[in-house]
């Protein structure tokens, strides 16, 4: 049976890691369940601004879309994901990603919720204004 997740305070600190089982058991058998990732096109240095390659790959058909975005800000990533979703020959039902900041943010979480796209990582996206114990803010 699926778990029902309660709505939590968006400013709370992450309390638990994403679930071990990322996809529903039959998801890889049907198009629309995609993996997303990004790669920095930085020439070996993460300093400054540069392009990022954003990839969406369907787990069933292996259909892949790639777009480039300047930096990897939340709004740019959401815009590119919308663009790529519109060009796919199937409806995106679920998105799985790594834990990069470009995928775990309020903009993307809202996009998934409003679009009816299942995303296991989005449930664990929290913005914290309080640093974890032992970590000091930079002055």
Tens digit of pLDDT at every position of the chain (139 positions):
444 444 545 444 444 444 445 566 766 678 999 999 999 999 889 998 999 999 999 989 999 999 999 988 889 999 999 999 999 999 999 898 887 888 888 888 889 889 998 887 655 544 444 444 554 444 4
Quote the CA–CA distance of 139 and 132 in Å, as a whole number. 16
Q: pTM for the full model?
A: 0.69
CATH of the domain at 44: 3.30.420.10
CB atoms within 10 A of CB 58: 20
131 falls within a domain: no
14 falls within a domain: no
69 falls within a domain: yes
8 token code pair: 């939590």
47 falls within a domain: yes
* Domain that residue 54 falls in: 27-124
103 token code pair: 């995928």
7 falls within a domain: no
3 falls within a domain: no
Per DSSP, the three-state class of 98 is coil
Number of domains the chain contains: 1
114 falls within a domain: yes
72 falls within a domain: yes
């Amino acid at each position: 049976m699926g778990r029902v997740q309660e709505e939590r305070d968006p400013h709370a600190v992450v309390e638990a890691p994403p679930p071990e089982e990322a996809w529903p058991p039959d998801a890889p058998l049907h198009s629309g369940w995609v993996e997303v990732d990004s790669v920095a096109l930085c020439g070996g240095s993460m300093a400054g601004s540069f392009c990022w390659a954003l990839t969406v790959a369907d787990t069933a058909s292996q259909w892949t879309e790639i777009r480039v975005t300047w930096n990897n800000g939340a709004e740019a990533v959401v815009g590119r994901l919308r663009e790529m979703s519109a060009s796919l020959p199937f409806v995106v039902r679920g998105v799985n990603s790594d834990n990069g900041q470009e995928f775990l943010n309020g903009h993307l979480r809202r996009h998934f919720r409003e679009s009816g796209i299942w995303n296991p990582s989005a449930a664990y996206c929290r913005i914290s204004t309080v640093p974890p114990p032992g970590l000091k803010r930079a002055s």
